[in-house]
């Protein structure tokens, strides 16, 4: 019998398993009872007894197979489907490989946060059965577990799939925590501060002031002028609006609907916006 691997499943929006949180490497086999903890994805699960797991080279799914039983496999994927989307997808035929479809036997059943459905297919002229379990998790992610097997091996593979599903833990991704911490860090660095940039060149000078209030409002002033061979002049400009931080990006949303973004960075102790040095001083405009 030809072993079928799920090379594509475009109906589910696939995301690669992260290899940064654990020593999960492409092509490396993980034995039974190994707990795969993907911290950056916020997912952990245990490989069932009698099975081994592998992340195939260049793949976007985690494959479970049994040395004891070659007539089936289990494939695990991370998706962004919510319950309604998953229910709609699971109610229709699902193509697991070019020309090979899982045909639903009935409508999916929802129990707590798990959608379950039964399917039939034919692989290499051999009738096969399949079951899909979609675990609707938090933080915008779901786990899809697809089992494909011959009729006489249904119990063996469904038991393993249930053990895997029951071992699943979905928690706040470390990546999200890292981003939130980074966001909070930048917010604390500039909230309630006055940011000032000075520019001088060939008799011309300019001062850019940003008063960033802790309530999310801001006031911005531009002062410039000087004398050149073309004459002399002076200008002022003042604007107000709301400011936000996302990672190291500072966004200014003006009252007229305009928007300007700055990339923040530190060189030593000096704050830079879009590569220009800004001094952080006491904000006398607002807290």
d(CA 274, CA 250): 10
Q: Say what the pLDDT of residue 98 is.
A: 77
d(C-alpha 282, C-alpha 287), whole Å? 9
pLDDT recorded at residue 123: 87
The domains found in the chain, sorted by start residue, are 29-172 (3.40.1000.10), 178-282 (2.40.128.300)
Q: Tell me, what's the pLDDT at 13?
A: 30
128/186 Cα distance (integer angstroms): 55
Query: Tell me, what's the pLDDT at 248?
Result: 87
Q: Which of 203, 200, 197, 199 has its CA nearest to residue 220?
A: 197
Beta bridge partners, 270, equal: 267
Taking residue 129's Cβ as centre, other Cβ atoms within 10 Å add up to 21
Nearest residue to 44 (alpha-carbon basis) of 8, 12, 9, 78: 78
As averages over each run of 10 residues, the pLDDT of the chain (287 residues) reads: 34 34 68 84 88 82 87 89 91 86 94 94 91 90 93 94 93 65 74 88 79 92 62 62 90 92 85 90 83
Which pLDDT belongs to residue 48?
Answer: 94
Tell me how far apart the alpha carbons of residues 165 and 155 are, in angstroms, rounded to a whole number. 15
């Amino acid at each position: 019998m030809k072993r079928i691997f799920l090379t594509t499943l475009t109906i589910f929006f696939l995301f690669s398993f992260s290899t940064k949180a654990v020593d999960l490497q492409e092509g490396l086999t993980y034995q039974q009872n190994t707990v795969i903890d993907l911290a950056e994805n916020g997912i952990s699960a245990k490989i069932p007894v009698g099975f081994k797991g592998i992340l195939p080279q260049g793949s976007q799914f985690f494959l479970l197979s049994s040395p004891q039983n070659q007539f089936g496999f289990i494939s695990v994927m991370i998706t962004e489907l919510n319950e309604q989307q998953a229910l709609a997808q699971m109610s229709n035929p699902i193509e697991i490989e070019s020309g090979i479809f899982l045909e639903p036997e009935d409508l999916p059943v929802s129990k707590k946060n798990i959608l379950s459905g039964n399917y039939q297919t034919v692989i290499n002229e051999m009738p096969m059965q399949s079951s899909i379990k979609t675990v609707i998790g938090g933080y915008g992610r779901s786990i899809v577990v697809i089992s494909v097997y011959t009729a006489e091996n249904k119990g063996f593979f469904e038991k393993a799939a249930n053990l895997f599903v029951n071992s699943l833990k979905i928690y706040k991704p470390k990546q999200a925590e890292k981003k939130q911490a980074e966001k909070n860090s930048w917010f604390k660095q500039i909230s309630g501060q006055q940011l000032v940039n000075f520019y001088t060149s060939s008799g011309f000078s300019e001062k850019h002031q940003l008063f960033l209030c802790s309530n999310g409002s801001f006031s911005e002033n531009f002062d410039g002028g000087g004398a050149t061979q073309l004459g002399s002049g002076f200008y002022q400009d003042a604007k107000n609006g709301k400011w936000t931080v996302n990672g190291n990006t500072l966004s200014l949303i003006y009252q007229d609907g305009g928007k300007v973004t700055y990339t923040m960075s530190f060189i030593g102790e000096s704050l830079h916006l879009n590569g220009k040095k800004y001094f952080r001083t006491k904000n006398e405009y607002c807290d």
